[in-house]
Amino acid sequence: MKSWRMAFNLSLRVLQAFVELADCRHFTRAAERSHLSQPAFSQLIRRLEEDAGVPLFTRTTRNVTLTVEGELFAERARRLIADMQSSIADLRDHATYRKGRVAMAALPSLSADLIPRAFAAFRRSYPTITLELFDRLSDGCLELVRRGRVDFALTAPGPRLHEFDSAPLRSEPFYFVCGARHPLARRRRIRLRDLWGLEMIHMARSSSVRQHLEPVIAKAGVLDSGIEIEQLATLAGLIASGLGVSLVPELTLFQFRRRELAVIPLEAPELTRPLLLVRRKGVALSRAAEAMLEVIVEMLPGAGRASARRTSAAQASG
């Protein structure tokens, strides 16, 4: 079905060969530099000239020079070669993690410790990739994903999650935190019913932890201290001062590892915070973002499962 005249298929190789000959004006040498036999090289130039419709060189067996048209084309050919090579280099740089950008959003609890450590590890492996981080509450994370401002978000379930591709990364267990002198401070494990009647300090209602905790603790019969704070550090300080106790997810524990505090695993399988990887629907991650995700997953407590790392295209939408 190639009924019509086949179009001129200019290629990088041909351009390079042409410029090589334009430079050294010697078929045999130019052929060597192009890693071709001299006749093959000769044929290549001939075909180029046929396609062009005009001789590009004048040759006697002793002398090879560019024609006027050849000179003009040589200028453009050099530009084209440079542009093509730069495009290829750019593509390869992205393929080999020498170029790229990862933008992500994450809950403040993750952004304070896990993500910084992940960034540090990532940068060691891929020092030239640009990194961006937005620490936002759940809604903010989702909004950034929706707008395409970030490649992905690490966040808790939120409203309108069905608009995204989301996959559970991990289910995070909760820990009970109290002052070191608290009656429960020496316990090895805590159950929900142990909390009955305790005065509890909560995170602000806007936080995903609080939203997740709310229905459960309502049934557990804990007393609400009335204090609502936004920063984990504040929470730690309040507990250290004996003003109450709290439940916090595992990834925030770095804030509570202080002598004045006791941190005890909560045995409540039904009370875990799902940590989601959220992305735009149907949009693949960049290579750099994939690599970042890999680093993060490796760094999560209880790593080793490969399931969350299969990020190709198949997801359970939330």
Binding residues (CB under 7 A) for DNA: these are: 1-2, 13, 26-28, 35-40, 42-47, 59-64, 314
65 binds its own copies (CB under 8 A): yes
124 binds its own copies (CB under 8 A): no
306 sits near its own copies (criterion: CB under 8 A): no
Q: Least distance from C-beta 51 to DNA, angstroms?
A: 10
Nearer to its own copies, 145 or 247 (CB): 145
Residues 45, 39: Cα–Cα separation, whole Å: 10
Give the pairing of strands 63-66 and 223-229. unpaired
The burial of 317, by beta-carbon neighbours within 10 Å (0-12 exposed, 13-18 middle, 19 or more buried), is given as exposed
Q: Are 287 and 95 in contact (CB under 8 A)?
A: yes
Whichever of 45 and 203 has its CB closer to DNA, that residue is 45
Question: How many positions of this chain bind its own copies (CB under 8 A)?
Answer: 47
Binding positions for its own copies, 225-284, rule CB under 8 A? 282-284
Interface of this chain with its own copies, residues 10 to 39, rule: CB under 8 A: 10-13, 35
Nearer to DNA, 233 or 284 (CB): 284
Q: Using an 8 Å Cβ cutoff, are 244 and 227 in contact?
A: yes
Each residue of 200-236: b (16+ CB within 10 Å) or e? bbbbeeebbbebbbeebbeebebeebebebeebeebb
**Candidate residues 40, 43, 46, 87; the one interacting with its own copies per rule CB under 8 A:** 87
Does residue 120 bind its own copies (CB under 8 A)? no
125 binds its own copies per the rule CB under 8 A:
no
The Cα 293–Cα 150 span in angstroms is 13
Phi-psi label, residue 285: left if phi above 0, alpha if psi -120 to 50, beta otherwise: beta
- Tokens found for residue 85: 């090579």
- CB closer to DNA out of 9 and 193: 9
Binding interface with its own copies (CB under 8 A)? 1-2, 7-13, 35, 52-55, 58, 60, 63, 65, 67-69, 72-73, 76-77, 79-80, 83-84, 87-88, 90-92, 94-96, 151, 282-287, 289, 312-313
